[in-house]
Amino acid sequence: MSNRFLMSPKTLALSPTRQNLWRLILIRLLVLLAQSLSVMGAYVSGWFPLPWAPLLLTLGLSALASIVTLLRLSRRWPVTDFEYGLQLCFDMLIHSILLYYSGGPTNPFVSYYLVPLTIAAATLPWFYTAVLGGFAVAAYSVLLLWYEPLNAFVLPVSRGSINLHTIGMWLNLAMSAGLISLFVVRMAAALRQHAERLAERREQSMRDTQLLGIASVAAGAAHELSTPLSTMSVLLKDLRSDYPDPQLQEDLALLQEQVKLCKDSLQHMVRSAEQSRLQPSRPEVADVWLKGLLTRWQLMRPEASWQWMPLPSGPVPCLQSSPELGQAVLNLLNNAADACLEGIEISLSWDSRRLILKIRDYGPGVPLHVAEQLGTAFVTTKGKKGFGLGLFLSQAAVERTGGSVRLYNQEGGGTLSEVILPITQEKADE
């Protein structure tokens, strides 16, 4: 299987469901201690008789389940929502058995059903909370009819009978379960979404700060380089007129061409920035835009061998093109060429909402210990040859358009770069 490595995977120990299960076992042990002390106190004091054997067997079963769960948590197995929901259901079942042998609905601890239900509402999806809420109401309904009465708990209700008081108790639990299931789940979901949005904004703010710093340094470097490049151009022109040697003339012409290329690159960068400010983006047919980029890239990297995969059938959708987006794709193409000059595969596909650009190379791939840091500024796999900015800038540019960049290690070797871009409904200029 391919391994997606741009997004950092959560470590198993920090899984929220796993941490919640630890907390649930801690709560269960505390409740078990309180229940055991209550049963022991009743036995020692002799205030009222209880069916000691079933109660001790139920408490022992709860203790055994806690021990087994703690052993299970010592293993590096993922904790699913289904397993966590089963643990809460088990707590409700144990509570129901204890209530059956200790007064049923007359027991003052009958409302403890709301504790695991509240935990479920705050930590699990609504489906599990609804199931557990239904279980709590069903168990309470059964206890209204079948339980072992205790003389210590006196209510104006006889065993197995239903009157206004018992109906009110049942309605109280049912309404409480419904309200908890409805509002706490929504509140917990709202809090989680708010936390996720804050985390995304913090990450975006940090990325924008880094981009601003990089842009400031780039602008300063472009301004500083213009003077020495002009000086070099003048000196090379003088040298060509002073030294007529053919071999030297050829080398000087090459140097002069390279200096001109540097000056043109700086001017193109300034023009692109001005164009981006005046006209941030414009709709363009996706395959036309990409073919133009590939033509430009082929001039930059003539030594690279690549293959354009066939397009899907149907009309090609449009995207919002911009200089930053084009540079982002060029960076990914250059990364593929740096990894392997031959056999690069480029494909474009789409669905109803998005475009998918894939760039596949057959290089060495990315080491796993470096993979999680890719996409961060100044992190590179090219050693001293790279600045660690290409993927960072590409990711930032694509995300500003509403898209995303993902990188995958492949089974046959190499890397797959996947760029997902939103489709625009506007028509491209004819």
Residue 41 φ/ψ region, left for φ over 0, alpha for ψ in the -120 to 50 degree band, beta for the rest: alpha
Token pair of 387 as six digits: 């600045």
Fold of 282-422: Heat Shock Protein 90 (3.30.565)
**For the chain, domain boundaries:** 3-202, 204-278, 282-422
The sign of the dihedral angle between the CA atoms of 91, 93, 96, 101 is: negative
Q: What does pTM read for this prediction?
A: 0.44
d(CA 288, CA 99): 73
Q: Are the CB atoms for 401 and 320 separated by under 8 Å?
A: yes
pLDDT score of 426: 62
Q: Are the CB atoms for 249 and 243 separated by under 8 Å?
A: yes
| Per-residue tens of pLDDT for the chain, all 430 residues | 344 433 333 444 446 777 778 888 888 888 888 878 877 877 787 666 778 888 889 889 989 998 998 898 888 778 888 988 899 999 899 989 988 888 887 777 777 788 888 888 878 888 888 899 899 889 988 988 888 877 655 554 454 555 545 555 666 566 666 656 665 666 566 667 767 777 777 766 666 665 555 555 555 566 567 778 778 877 888 787 888 788 888 888 888 877 777 777 767 666 655 555 555 567 888 889 999 888 888 877 888 888 888 888 888 888 888 777 888 888 888 888 888 888 899 999 998 888 999 999 888 876 554 544 444 444 444 544 444 456 767 777 788 788 888 888 887 778 888 899 998 876 555 5
Q: What is the secondary structure of 293-313 as a DSSP string?
A: HHHHHHHH-TT--EEEPPPPS
d(CA 145, CA 105): 9
Backbone angles phi, psi at 146, to 5 degrees: -125, 115
Burial grade of 174 (CB within 10 A; 0-12, 13-18, 19 or more): middle
Nearest residue to 385 via CA among 343, 335, 344, 351: 335
Classify 424 as helix, strand or coil.
strand
d(CA 161, CA 71): 44
pLDDT score of 120: 84
